[in-house]
Amino acid sequence: MEKLITVTTFNTSLNKWIGTSYDSFPIYRSKGLLTHLINRKHYIAIKYMDYLPDILNNPDYIGNDSGSIEFVKCYKDNNFISIKLDTKKSKYYVATMFEVKQSKIDAYVRNGRLIPIDDNV
């Protein structure tokens, strides 16, 4: 039985922000993501699991860090999502998601880890 659920496909228009040339690829989440979030006490992020396609396709910030692609979407709460490549299965999956404070986002922007998405560019 497959333990991965397709969330969305990578939005190739995001390549320009992170300096990559990825083709569109499916992004998965494990059936165990909810358990992972509960174990890590990421209760606020749980409210946004159904928003994963929107967060991954329309982030407010994006970054490329140590082989992961990181997305932040600001709703009432700021949500940080990291996707990683499972090299054994050659599939990108949601590794984690959690609430992040604006001050942390600002620090990540200052040090270059995240790039704000500006639709006017």
Complete domains list, the chain, with CATH:
4-115 (3.30.2310)
Q: Read off the pLDDT of residues 38-81 as tens digits, 9 standing for 90 and up.
A: 999 999 999 999 999 999 999 999 999 888 999 999 999 999 99
Q: What percent of the chain has pLDDT over 70?
A: 96
pTM above 0.95, yes or no: no
| Distance of alpha carbon 100 from alpha carbon 36, whole angstroms | 17
Query: Does residue 24 have a pLDDT over 90?
Result: yes
Nearest CA to 14 out of 88, 69, 93, 76 is that of 69
